[in-house]
Amino acid sequence: MIVILKQNTTEAQLNNFTGWLASQGLDVHISRGSYETVIGLIGDTSKVDEELVKSLEMVESVRRISDPFKSANRKFHPDDSVVKVDAEGKVAFGGGRFGVIAGPCSVETKEQIISVAGDVKKAGAVMLRGGAFKPRTSPYDFQGLGAEGIRLLLEAKKETGLPIITEILSITHIELFEDIDVIQVGARNMQNFELLKELGRLKKTILLKRGLANTLKELLMSAEYIMSGGNENVILCERGIRTFDNTYTRNTLDLSAVPVLKELTHLPVIVDPSHAVGSSKYVESMALAAVAAGADGIMTEVHNDPLKALCDGAQSLTPEQFDRMMSKINMVRQAVAK
């Protein structure tokens, strides 16, 4: 249920009202927009007397929301959320803030991560990615450097000033992520609900990737797991899904996810074309299409020597290819700017 308040509602009236709602066992989500204040009621609203709420002087209107996702719902929060990566918001996504995240699939050596970090920064990336814990299909493949990978990422941050994003695979590793700026929940863990609940207790920004065969509603429900725990700093990421034809591409990039999600939720939506297409040949065109579709950011894999990469070399751009793509991204952004 959402309650829209009249413009002249005082702080005291608002506190009185939210106090009453809390006494009914409901959580409230308050969104102060430029034109109206929207109160989202979270919990069992079936016993709330709609007529009684409507009769209150400060109430403009009341609407029942049937969508199962509440905190993530745009009806609860009409303005775009701007999700900050650092405390001052030097890097942020959503509400007009756009950024490109780039780096190797996995951290391999100090030289590799520092060299890629420097190259992507020079080309205009706002954040460095790199996997320390890798979710590989085969247990015989490189599993990542683990804690050492995180240490190397932090060295790259010190060297370049770029904030860091890296993927978490297990709750048991959570302490290792203390100095990491954004924690990534990968496609394979999108429905690891115990992990999501734990991340909901943090204040850190979480990048939540869509699962290989998950609907947009399921993605939003997973975001809801994090947000209902108190962590509203969630960025969504479309990274391609399994379809009947993944002969020539690793997955199928569902670009319609961008406008659809942006209608359904106030959370920022970014696109990872690398894992979607699986080949560096197609990454640029899909990145440009995602920008034109209104994505709040792009995440791509870049490697200093893709042929020797320990993971996902085929889809990794060289620093030169990345630099070219960045110039084109800037042109597309200008072309579609409102």
Residues making contact with ligand PEP (CB under 6 A): 105, 131, 135, 167, 186-188, 209, 239, 272, 275
What, of ligand PEP, Mn ion, none, does residue 232 touch, CB below 5 to 8 Å by kind? none
2 versus 190: smaller Cβ distance to ligand PEP? 190
Beta-carbon-side half-sphere exposure of residue 336 (alpha carbons within 13 Å): 15
224 versus 312: smaller Cβ distance to Mn ion? 312
CB of 6 vs ligand PEP, minimal distance in Å: 45
What, of ligand PEP, Mn ion, none, does residue 209 touch, CB below 5 to 8 Å by kind? ligand PEP
What are the beta bridge partners of residue 207? 184, 235
The secondary structure of residue 166, as a DSSP letter, is E
41 versus 207: smaller Cβ distance to ligand PEP? 207
CB of 149 vs ligand PEP, minimal distance in Å: 12
31 versus 274: smaller Cβ distance to ligand PEP? 274
Burial 291-318 (b: 16+ CB within 10 A, else e): bebebbbbbbbbbbebeebbbbbebbbb
Determine the interface stretch with Mn ion among 17-25, 78-86, 100-108, 150-158 (rule: CB under 5 A).
100-108
Measured at CB, which residue is nearest to ligand PEP?
186
- What is the distance between the alpha carbons of residues 236 and 177, in angstroms, rounded to a whole number? 19
- Say if residues 314 and 115 touch (Cβ distance below 8 Å): no
73 versus 143: smaller Cβ distance to ligand PEP? 143
Helix (H, G, I), strand (E, B) or coil at 24: coil
35 versus 140: smaller Cβ distance to ligand PEP? 140
Instruction: Decide: is 108 part of the binding site for Mn ion (CB under 5 A).
Output: no
Interface residue with Mn ion, options 41, 59, 105, 295 (CB under 5 A) = 105
Helix pair angle (147-160, 110-123), 10° resolution: 40
Measured at CB, which residue is nearest to Mn ion?
105
CB of 48 vs ligand PEP, minimal distance in Å: 39
- Say if residues 239 and 286 touch (Cβ distance below 8 Å): no
CB of 250 vs Mn ion, minimal distance in Å: 10
User: Of 175, 216, 209, nearest to 192 (Cα)?
Assistant: 209
The H-or-E segment that residue 330 falls in is helix 319-336
Helix pair angle (216-228, 193-200), 10° resolution: 40
CB of 323 vs ligand PEP, minimal distance in Å: 21
Chain positions 282 to 321 lying near Mn ion, rule: CB under 5 A, are 312
- Say if residues 222 and 207 touch (Cβ distance below 8 Å): no
224 versus 272: smaller Cβ distance to Mn ion? 272
- Say if residues 143 and 134 touch (Cβ distance below 8 Å): yes
Please report, as ranges, the residues that interact with Mn ion according to CB under 5 A. 105, 312
